[in-house]
């Protein structure tokens, strides 16, 4: 009986550990809490390329020209970078490019299209994480179809091209910048796809094959094919106070979602099926390319290859289902716990008998 109890207890422990997060997860992959009391409106999030386990973030408008490097192990700020020579207006996003630069998007427009131009600030990711002031390169941004409010900026990790997603449920779109940003002339961003979402952030996967766009209550994953997006299913977004940010963990298998507020929680969501980036899949997870229509994923396509319907917001249809993997692990935990309880109860009856 003792051996049975020990075995069942071990099984429960193993399943609980699996539910808590993946084995061998990198620092921050299983989530963290931002401890810095200065960061009360974390509005963007990006995994560092130069410093594994570190994440760049910043406050929303009115904070000043500051970007913070946060340790995913502890949630503590390990460096504060002061951007010199600029006076930010409404900073909403941050991304790290393949050139080793941090791109900061001063792209917000709470008036819904009042500003004729917005800006992107770029600085080299420091080799050492210490408090410092850095001189930035400022890139002026204009939209080909007129001013837009936006909170989402993502730099492709292979091509280095910069993309912005405007924030509009009815008329939102994905905008591509020029192949190389100019520091001396305005950069025109051109609409390349519709994104019907109150988008608050976006991020490319480390291999550049997926683009995640989040809203307050949900989001959309896109497969990035031939330089453009194809919808690959709705994203499950955790319930947060004011969900403002998203980034991929360095292994590409997890999305990390951030929120505004004091001690903002950065919460992980594991990916599976077609939403997994190509470099993050093993052979079992790779889609069937034989042409028989058996490609697996998250229900984003019908049998004829057309996109499935569904809105992107909880109030508007964003995000419909929880992660299947988490539900399976919870069921296993409950089943193992029930088995342990019944075994203990039978043993107690035998002792009384």
The yes-or-no verdict on residue 46 having pLDDT over 70 is yes
For 246, the token pair is 């998203």
Confidence of residue 319 (pLDDT cuts 50, 70, 90): very low
- Per-residue pLDDT of 19-32, as tens digits, reads 334 444 566 678 99
Strands 228-235 and 243-248 turn out to be unpaired
Q: What is the pLDDT of residue 74?
A: 96
Per the model's pLDDT, the better-predicted residue between 220 and 345 turns out to be 220
Q: 323-327 long-range CB contacts below 8 Å, 24 or more apart? A: 323/236, 323/269, 323/270, 323/272, 324/272, 325/270, 325/272, 326/19, 326/270
Least confident span in 84-98, 158-172, 317-331: 317-331
112-163: pLDDT as tens digits: 778 999 999 999 999 999 999 999 999 999 999 999 999 999 999 999 999 9
Percent of the chain with pLDDT over 70: 72
Q: Give the pLDDT confidence of 328-346 residue by residue, as tens digits.
A: 344 444 444 444 444 444 4
Q: Which helix (H) or strand (E) holds 119?
A: strand 118-124
Neighbours of 60 (CB within 10 A): 20
Q: What is the pLDDT averaged over residues 200-222?
A: 96
Q: pTM of the predicted model, to two decimals?
A: 0.75
SS3 at position 5: helix
* 199 closest CA partner among 231, 224, 170, 228: 170
Residue 81 has pLDDT above 60, yes or no: yes
Helices (H), the chain: 2-20, 324-352
Distance CA 18, CA 23 (A): 7
């Amino acid at each position: 009986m003792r051996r049975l109890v020990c075995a069942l207890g071990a099984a429960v422990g193993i399943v609980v550990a699996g539910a808590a997060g993946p084995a061998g997860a990198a620092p921050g992959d299983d989530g963290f809490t931002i401890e810095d009391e200065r960061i009360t409106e974390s509005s963007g999030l990006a995994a560092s390329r130069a410093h594994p386990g570190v994440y760049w973030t910043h406050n929303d408008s009115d904070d000043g020209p500051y970007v913070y490097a946060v340790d995913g192990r502890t949630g503590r700020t390990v460096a504060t970078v002061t951007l010199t020579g600029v006076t930010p207006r409404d900073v909403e996003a941050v991304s790290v490019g393949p050139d080793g630069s941090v791109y900061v998007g001063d792209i917000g427009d709470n008036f819904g299209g009042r500003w004729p131009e917005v800006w992107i600030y770029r600085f080299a990711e420091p080799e050492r994480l210490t408090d410092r002031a850095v001189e930035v390169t400022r890139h002026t941004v204009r939209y080909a179809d007129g001013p837009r409010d936006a909170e989402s900026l993502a730099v492709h990790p292979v091509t280095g091209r910069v993309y912005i997603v405007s924030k509009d449920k009815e008329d939102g779109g994905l905008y591509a910048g020029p192949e190389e940003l100019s520091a001396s002339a305005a950069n025109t961003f051109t609409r390349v796809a519709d994104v019907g979402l109150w988008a608050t952030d976006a991020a490319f996967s480390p291999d550049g094959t997926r683009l995640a766009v989040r809203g307050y209550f949900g989001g959309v994953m896109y497969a990035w094919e031939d330089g453009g997006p194809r919808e690959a299913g709705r994203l499950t977004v955790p319930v947060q106070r004011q969900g403002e940010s998203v980034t991929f963990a360095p292994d590409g298998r997890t999305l990390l979602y951030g929120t505004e507020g004091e001690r903002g929680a950065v919460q992980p969501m594991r990916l599976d099926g077609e939403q997994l980036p190509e470099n993050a899949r093993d052979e079992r997870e790779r889609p069937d390319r034989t042409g028989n229509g058996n490609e697996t994923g998250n229900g984003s396509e019908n049998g004829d290859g057309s996109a499935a319907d569904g809105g992107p917001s909880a109030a508007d249809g964003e995000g419909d289902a929880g992660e299947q993997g988490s539900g399976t692990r919870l069921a296993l935990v409950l089943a193992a716990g029930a088995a342990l309880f019944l075994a203990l109860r039978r043993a107690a009856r035998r002792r009384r008998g």
